[in-house]
C-alpha cells in the first residue's frame, strides 16, 4: 500500500511542513549559538553579555514566528483538508498524515521549551559569574584594607 499524497494538491499541508522545516533550521542555529557560548571562569566580559543579549533577541523573534506557525498548524489540525486519491485507502492516509503532523508540532513545542531552558541556563551562568567576580573583588579589597589597617 502506498501512503502518499500529492503536495501540489495539498498546499496548506505542504506550507505547514515547509514552515516546520524552516523553524527547525532556525532552532538549530540558535541552539548551536547558545551551546557554543563560553562563559569566562573568573571575570565578566561585556562582549559576552552583548552576545547573549543578541541571542535573546534572535530567540524572541523566533518565538514570534513559532507562535504564528503554531496558530496556523493548530487550525489545520482542527479542520484538516486533504485531497487524497480515490484509488487509495483514504482513512489510512488521513490518519498517517494527521498523526505525523501532530508529532511534528509536538516535537517543535518540546524543542521550544528546551531552547528556552538552554538560554535561561546560559543567562543565569553569566549573571552568577558576575556575582562571583564581585564577591572575589570585594574579598580581595577587604583583605588589602585589613592588611593596611594592621600595618599602622
pLDDT digits (tens, 9 = 90+) for 10-40: 899 999 999 999 999 999 999 999 998 887 6
CB atoms within 10 A of CB 14: 14
State how many domains the chain has.
1
4 in a structural domain: no
Would you state the pLDDT for residue 93?
A: 86
135 in a structural domain: yes
Q: Give which of 117, 55, 50, 105 is closest to 80, Cα–Cα.
A: 105
Q: Which three cell numbers stand for residue 135?
A: 564577591
Q: Report the run of H or E that residue 29 belongs to, with start and end.
A: helix 11-36
CATH number at residue 30: 1.20.58
- In this structure, are residues 42 and 133 in contact, taking their beta carbons and an 8 Å threshold? yes
CB atoms within 10 A of CB 23: 20
134 in a structural domain: yes
5 in a structural domain: no
Would you state the pLDDT for residue 41?
A: 65
Would you state the pLDDT for residue 43?
A: 57
1 in a structural domain: no
Structure pTM? 0.77
How many Å from the N-terminal Cα to the C-terminal Cα in the chain?
94
100 in a structural domain: yes
Would you state the pLDDT for residue 6?
A: 82
139 in a structural domain: yes
Would you state the pLDDT for residue 72?
A: 94
Domain with 90, as residue range(s), is: 11-151
- In this structure, are residues 83 and 10 in contact, taking their beta carbons and an 8 Å threshold? yes
DSSP code, position 3: -
Low-confidence ranges of the chain (pLDDT < 70): 1, 40-46, 130-132, 152
Q: Which three cell numbers stand for residue 119?
A: 538560554
34 in a structural domain: yes
As a whole-number percent, the residues of the chain with pLDDT over 90 amount to: 47
- In this structure, are residues 23 and 65 in contact, taking their beta carbons and an 8 Å threshold? yes
Would you state the pLDDT for residue 84?
A: 84
Would you state the pLDDT for residue 31?
A: 94
Q: Which three cell numbers stand for residue 37?
A: 557560548
- In this structure, are residues 110 and 138 in contact, taking their beta carbons and an 8 Å threshold? no
Amino acid at each position: 500500500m502506498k501512503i502518499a499524497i500529492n503536495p501540489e494538491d495539498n498546499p496548506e499541508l505542504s506550507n505547514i511542513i515547509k514552515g516546520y522545516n524552516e523553524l527547525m533550521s532556525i532552532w538549530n542555529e540558535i541552539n548551536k549559538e547558545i551551546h557554543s557560548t563560553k562563559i569566562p571562569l573568573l571575570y565578566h566580559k561585556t562582549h559576552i553579555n552583548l552576545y547573549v543579549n543578541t541571542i535573546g533577541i534572535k530567540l524572541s523573534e523566533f518565538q514570534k514566528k513559532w507562535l504564528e506557525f503554531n496558530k496556523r498548524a493548530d487550525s489545520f489540525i482542527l479542520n484538516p483538508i486533504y485531497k487524497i486519491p480515490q484509488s487509495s485507502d483514504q482513512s489510512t492516509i488521513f490518519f498517517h498524515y494527521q498523526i505525523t503532523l501532530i508529532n511534528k508540532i509536538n516535537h517543535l513545542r518540546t524543542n521550544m521549551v528546551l531552547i528556552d531552558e538552554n538560554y535561561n541556563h546560559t543567562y543565569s551562568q553569566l549573571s552568577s559569574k558576575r556575582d562571583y567576580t564581585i564577591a572575589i573583588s570585594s574579598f580581595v579589597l577587604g583583605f588589602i584594607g585589613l592588611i593596611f589597617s594592621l600595618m599602622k
